[in-house]
Chain A
């Protein structure tokens, strides 16, 4: 039986109301037309990740995002998300953002190629309309520009 997170989050957020979970107002389904081995892949993370020299995210309502080079040699990653669970992933961000594993898969031909950048933003932001109207379209546009075939989203 999987652990239920919603009751834990509700208890921890008291006396504030729990976060409201919001689905997209226009659900979409885009068929997969290419095998992974022929696809350009990008990672998306809500852990508020960045390279150490990039601008810090400001908890808790930061609406910006960072482009993180997909090359694992491009620099060290840090996590700005405020969650109490951060102690462990801050030791090794690859456990929420498998940039090295994905690059290795690209070398081996398991995935076709890497997008030049992966993306990260602040999870848990309580501004769903701005996420849908501003943040998500901006990232979607970057993904299109990079001709990405598949986006892997890792919630934090």
Chain B
């Protein structure tokens, strides 16, 4: 059975060309790649790998940025730069884990809800999504984390639990509007199974927005993770999480500003990187229009 005509997926070579011509997206990609590389190879490239965990060296404590410690040291004498590099690991891990859970679940739910629009299934799914979205995401995550033992793992679970509805809503709106398009109904008449309809006809048309959102979301997930740790409900000391570092260092403002400010700036950098990259991804898929 022939596949009905759908809007073609991106022509990758052309898209890459467009993407790389826009230098801002390339910058975004560069930043993200840098963060990823640093995160993966942190134990090998960080100047003081032992400082990542529990480590104390009081004579070296509170050193302002200098050649030995480019970002200075914190109150325990640990090198801030090293801890930031290790912190990238937790940030990226958060993004990867959360998105791997949330995207498949949310997308499938959205596809099903959109395809079976008007049925009980759709109602249940979308009402559930509405309930999870009734409260600002951070608040829900905070409360979930608070009833569990604070840890990186639990933080990831909490964020996943409140992130899925965004994808469901996104995909639902595309899926339900495509439901009545001619090409979908044509396939239906030809005897296609719902499985085929959902995954071979409708899903490809959602790819653009999904991928764009995923890229942008990576930054926001990292931000929420940092916010959770900032408050103390995510990673626990001595884990070198960016959020924990900002909050730990806050008590040393303004004299030893570097303990707090450098991690804070790297958070901004990561988010900016993902935002730039996400815009590039969006443009890549918008390449359809002349």
B is a partner of A = no
